[in-house]
Chains A and B, each alone.
Chain A
Amino acid sequence: MARTVLFSDEAVAKAINEKFEPVWVSVRPVPTVTIDFGNGKKITRTLHGNVASYVLNADGSIIDILPGLYEPQQYISRLDQLWWVHHYKPMTRDPVAFLADYHQKQMVAIKTSGTSLEVRPNADLTKALIEINTKSILKASSAISKVTKARMEGSLEHPDFNEPKALASWRRVHEDTDINENQRRAQVHEMLAVRPNAHPEDVTKKLYREVLHADIDDPYMGLGPTLFDDYPFREDVPAELRTSHAVSNSH
């Protein structure tokens, strides 16, 4: 989905190629579901394919994370703002404290107003400015929420799936973008506020488990109880799940 909605989009690809050094990594194989209808017809679909976009410093430390899938315009807009955070960070008195403060302020803003603060572009070019800090670069983003609402209204319940570009207008993608911005990002900021110099390997498992709800350490990705708790044939329950199966059945 991310490849079709985001990285195949000309505008997204241009923005990324111009402003970032992009790289993709796999955290685990994607789970797939295949239904064999027994008449030669089979369908295969991916399941639970969660994604995260990290913006990193050259030393590998995290600036910020965009959790989940975004619709293209919002993705470009958010990446652009994170580019500015990366730009301002070396100009601050204490870059680590600056990042911690940035995450703290964003977390509070999302939890209190439902939207994150907007990162002001070109704040370092303002004549009156003496110091770059979170106060000088962050501002309320009422305009963005209006744009989001307008886009949501223009989204489609059933777009033409033969058109890759139409996927970007799919209401589910817009709703997911909204959840990412208004809920998941608050969790990300909360996580990074206490570890402003973290590297991806320090937070990835926690991010997938607690924010994206896809435990990458669990071979069944948290679906074990759903798949086997009410399954009557005990011999088919994987050995590692038999204890929990028996316990949950006894309740």
Chain B
Amino acid sequence: MLIKRSSAALFLLLTASTSSLQVFAEDFVAQKAPPPKFEMTRLDISKRAAEFPMKSIIGNRGARYPKLADSFDVGTEPAKLANPEAVSPAKSVDSNKPSVKPQPTNEKVEPGKVRWHKAVQTALDASKRSGKPVLLFQMMGRLDDRFC
């Protein structure tokens, strides 16, 4: 009889302790848990990415960051990151477009007001018909390119 009572009391005591320990543990975790780990990782990467190009250019120390160096084109990304507009979250995150204006390409333009023949032979054939001399304009690049 005495053994049965002692066992029942012991069981109740153990159950109560476990429950209170569980509640205490949950409260503790909720208050003291460190911030999510990915936040630190993102901060760390963005810092290194922003600083990497200057370090690699001045000190030739790109080898210190082999994984980052392999992960993006060093020739294009730094310009984007270095631009003050590019680091503005509102613009860089929302628009998802490079804030740097596209550079003008060597687009086609009118080669002046002269009525050019398409080829030398065409001009020579026209010269035979008209009796006019041929004006052959030689140049580097193309007269119908913006940069010529």
Binding site for B on A (CB under 8 A): 2-3, 6-10, 12-13, 16-17, 19-32, 36, 38-40, 42, 44-46, 48-60, 63, 79, 82-83, 86, 200, 204, 214, 216
Contact = CB atoms under 8 A, between A and B. Distances in A.
B119 interface: yes
A36 B79 contact: yes
B143 A23 contact: no
Interface stretch (B10-18, B40-48, B108-116): B108-116
26 contacts: A2-B137, A3-B109, A3-B148, A6-B112, A7-B113, A21-B124, A21-B134, A22-B134, A22-B135, A22-B137, A23-B116, A27-B138, A27-B139, A27-B140, A29-B141, A30-B139, A30-B145, A31-B140, A40-B101, A49-B148, A51-B138, A51-B139, A51-B140, A60-B120, A82-B133, A214-B140
Contacts of A52: 137-139
B132 A21 contact: yes
B16 to A, nearest CB: 68
B100 interface: yes
Contacts of B143: 2-3, 7, 24, 26
Contacts of B137: 2, 22-25, 51-54
A38 B58 CA distance: 14
B82 interface: yes
**Interface magnitude class on chain B:** 35 or more
Contacts of A25: 120, 136-139
Nearest to A18: B132
Contact of B133 (A8, A86, A216): A86
B119 A23 contact: yes
A21 B127 contact: yes
Interface string B59-95: 0000000000000000000111011000000000000
Interface of B: 78-80, 82-83, 99-101, 103-104, 109, 111-120, 122-124, 126-128, 130-143, 145, 147-148
A156 B107 CA distance: 30
B134 A56 contact: yes
Contact of B134 (A2, A49, A58): A58
Contacts of B119: 23
A86 to B, nearest CB: 4
Nearest to A5: B112
B115 A49 contact: no
B86 to A, nearest CB: 8
A55 B133 contact: yes
Nearest to A34: B103
Contacts of A46: 141, 147-148
A25 to B, nearest CB: 6
Given A26-B140, A46-B148, A56-B124, A8 B135 contact: no
Nearest to B98: A40
Contacts of B100: 40
B135 A55 contact: yes
Nearest to B53: A38
Nearest first, the 8 closest Cβ-Cβ pairs linking A and B are A7-B112, A30-B141, A13-B113, A40-B100, A20-B135, A23-B123, A58-B127, A56-B134
Given A22-B135, A49-B148, A204-B138, 14 more contacts: A7-B113, A20-B133, A21-B126, A21-B134, A23-B136, A38-B82, A45-B147, A46-B147, A49-B141, A51-B138, A55-B136, A58-B128, A200-B138, A214-B140
